[in-house]
Amino acid sequence: MKINDIDLRRWKEYEEIWTDSLWIIPSRDNSGMHTPEYHGNFVPQIPRQAMLRFTRRGEWVLDSFAGLGTTLIEARRLGRNAVGIEINEEIAKKALQLVKNEENPYKVTTKLIVGDAAAKSTYQGLGKFQLVILHPPYWDIIKFSNKKGDLSNATTLNEFLEGFKRVVELSSKHLDKNRYLVLVIGDKYSEGEWIPLGFYTMRVIMELGFKLKSIVVKNIEENRGKRGQRALWRYRALKDGYYIFKHEYVMFFVKEKNK
Ligand SMILES: C[S@@+](CC[C@H](N)C(=O)[O-])C[C@H]1O[C@@H](n2cnc3c(N)ncnc32)[C@H](O)[C@@H]1O
């Protein structure tokens, strides 16, 4: 079964596709309808790399935390059909507008469902997907909305992980066997302690029958606000004995069992 459009006889020609586990991305791709405006969106290069390696043109991609639609916009460019789920209708509305304004050269279908990705009813009528991308809130680091069900409102780590587990369970029901699920997440620092959200969520996915294929470490670009505070962060780090976050994870899993 072929899971991408790479012709291995010409493998030297695919320079655009990354194969190393350290991704230093110098700047975000802000071309077309991509915008850095949403605090908490990922750089388009992440879904792009995932789709190029783990889908074929015309296949279906599900992004269960769609945000401002980065995956959906990128999917249009690459000729992949895509469905996004987003709990915050204001953001979903904006995302839909951006997606509509992005050219659609391959005439693919792009849909955005406003709903809770941890609720079964949200997935009603959806078919099968060949790639699932999950970029959840990093627990409560950024509060995305006041909505009940928004994972950034979870009051405990356990509640966050339970909600996340539900999203993985429901999303993966729609993922074909032997296809990829991609998790993009960072850790959290709270009350003097590093909370390894990346590893906790990785474990949730593995316990649901997925095989871990890769952990990629991606750099965090400093936004302008943070740059101004660099000295303060450095002082705090030196004083309190920790390291300042400069990385996030992009983890790749394969669905082994048909749960
Ligand atoms: C880290 S952001 C994703 C950003 C996205 N990758 C982008 O580039 O715009 C997480 C998103 O998940 C949404 N969210 C939180 N809980 C959710 C849930 N239970 N179901 C669906 N969306 C949810 C938030 O509103 C937020 O937009």
- DSSP for the chain, written as a single string: ---S---GGGGGG-TTS--SSEE---S----TT--TTSTTPPPTHHHHHHHHHH--TT-EEEESS-TTTHHHHHHHHHT-EEEEEES-HHHHHHHHHHHHHS--TT---EEEEES-TTSGGGGTT---EEEEEE----TTSS---S-TT-GGG-SSHHHHHHHHHHHHHHHHHTEEEEEEEEEEE--EEETTEEE-HHHHHHHHHHHTTEEEEEEEEEEPPPPHHHHHTHHHHHHHHHHHT-----EEEEEEEEE-S--
Residue type (1 letter), 152: S
Residue 225 predicted with pLDDT over 70: no
Which pLDDT belongs to residue 223? 65
Phi, psi of 19 (to 5 degrees): -130, 0
Nearest protein Cα to ligand 1, atom 3:
67
Residue 204 predicted with pLDDT over 90: yes
Going from the Cα of 122 to the center of ligand 1, the distance in angstroms, rounded, reads 14
Pocket mutation for ligand 1, best pick of 86, 102, 146 (most atoms within 8 Å of C-beta): 86
Residues 6-25 have a mean pLDDT of 96
Which pLDDT belongs to residue 226? 65
Going from the Cα of 137 to the center of ligand 1, the distance in angstroms, rounded, reads 6
- Residue 68 neighbours by CB under 8 Å, 6+ apart: 35, 37, 38, 41, 91, 94, 95, 98
Which pLDDT belongs to residue 24? 96
Q: Residue 1's pLDDT band (boundaries 50, 70, 90)?
A: confident
Which pLDDT belongs to residue 39? 82
Q: What is the pTM of this model?
A: 0.96
Q: Give the integer Cα–Cα distance in Å for 6 and 130.
A: 16
42 lines ligand 1 (CB under 6 A): yes
Nearest protein Cα to ligand 1, atom 17:
150
47 lines ligand 1 (CB under 6 A): no
Q: Which domains does the chain have, with CATH numbers?
A: 8-255 (3.40.50.150)
Going from the Cα of 245 to the center of ligand 1, the distance in angstroms, rounded, reads 21
Tell me the pLDDT tens digit for each residue of 74-125. Answer: 999 999 999 999 999 999 999 999 999 999 999 999 999 999 999 999 999 9
